[in-house]
Copies of this chain bind each other. A is one copy, B any other.
Amino acid sequence: MSSPENFADRLIQNIKLKNSCVVVGLDPRLSEIPTNIQLSSTRKHGQTFNAAFKCILDFNKHVIDIVAMHAVAVKPQIAFYEQYGSFGIKALEKTVKYAKKCGLIVILDAKRNDIGSTAEAYSNGYLGRVPLFENNSVKSYDVDAITVNPYLGSDGISPFVRNSNIYGTGIFVLVRTSNPSAQEIQDIECETERLYKKVGRYVYLWGSGTEGYNNYRSVGAVVGATYPDEAKDLRELMPNSFFLVPGYGVQGASAEDIVHCFNKDGLGAIINSSRGIIFAYKDPHWKEQYGERNFEQAIESAVIKMKKEINLTRAKKTSVNS
């Protein structure tokens, strides 16, 4: 079966193929990476950004090899790469390529946004083609989707929507983030409702026309698992938008908290866990059983456990409503 041309369709195809709504966050904190991998980088390259590049890429490949069967997507958090300058970005570029080759959808967590002409540069870099010399253009990062910030309004969003339509890529706009202080701005009372709902309405408007043949849209929303009531509201407000749901696991949300993120068809949400999977060997739940030496088995057990938990939740949703 050939790959569909709409991002939401490609996502759904991969969800069904793997029977999984799990997204694994690739947030490679050097100090948490198993010592052996750290040492094999520093032995050759010392305390350098080049060693950081090798170490991150090496670790990510281990993670990807294990989760490729069980996760629908990976979500590299660009901050953990970008902080190491061009070396970090090189690690990201190679990670993206490797993950795609392994059949994973790549959602870059970058939370980018800017005024129109600048948003276009971001959008070309991540979702489209960047201009070279003499009107030539080429693909650059070539990810499947990117997270985007709404604060600048539609000017900063439409270049991403445009490329999503042309290249079969997608975006997830921050609506309700998972962090504690999300409340400060996102819960400000606006007219008759809180800000995050107004933003949700905008995002739904911005995504109009990006539906694939499954009727889901390529413009989705970031909706934190740590705010289940808000997720329920947003599910009603944006029925055929995909939710990218952070906050599961280490950030405190359980499978119970994410039930409202799904639709009756068991679709409409993908759930991210980062540290809880990739550094599972440090998690009290797996530490004793595996330890650092068996970090790969810890990753595998953690991702399979998460997949099962989430599929149980999805099953509840579909059975209640059927």
A interface, CB within 8 angstroms of B: 27, 29-31, 38, 41-42, 47-49, 51-52, 55, 77, 79-80, 82-87, 89-90, 93, 109, 111-116, 118-119, 121-122, 124-125, 130-136, 138, 140-141, 149-156, 174, 177-186, 188-191, 195, 198-199, 202, 246
Contacts and interface: CB of A to CB of B under 8 A. Distances in A.
A186 B151 contact: yes
Contacts of A42: 133-134
**Pairs of residues from A and B, 3 with the lowest C-beta to C-beta distance, nearest first:** A83-B125, A153-B181, A153-B184
A195 B184 contact: no
Contacts of A55: 133
B130 A84 contact: yes
Nearest to A147: B114
B195 A190 contact: yes
B30 A131 contact: yes
Contact of A151 (B83, B140, B177): B177
A84 B142 CA distance: 11
Contact of A89 (B30, B47, B89): B89
A276 B115 CA distance: 16
B195 A38 contact: no
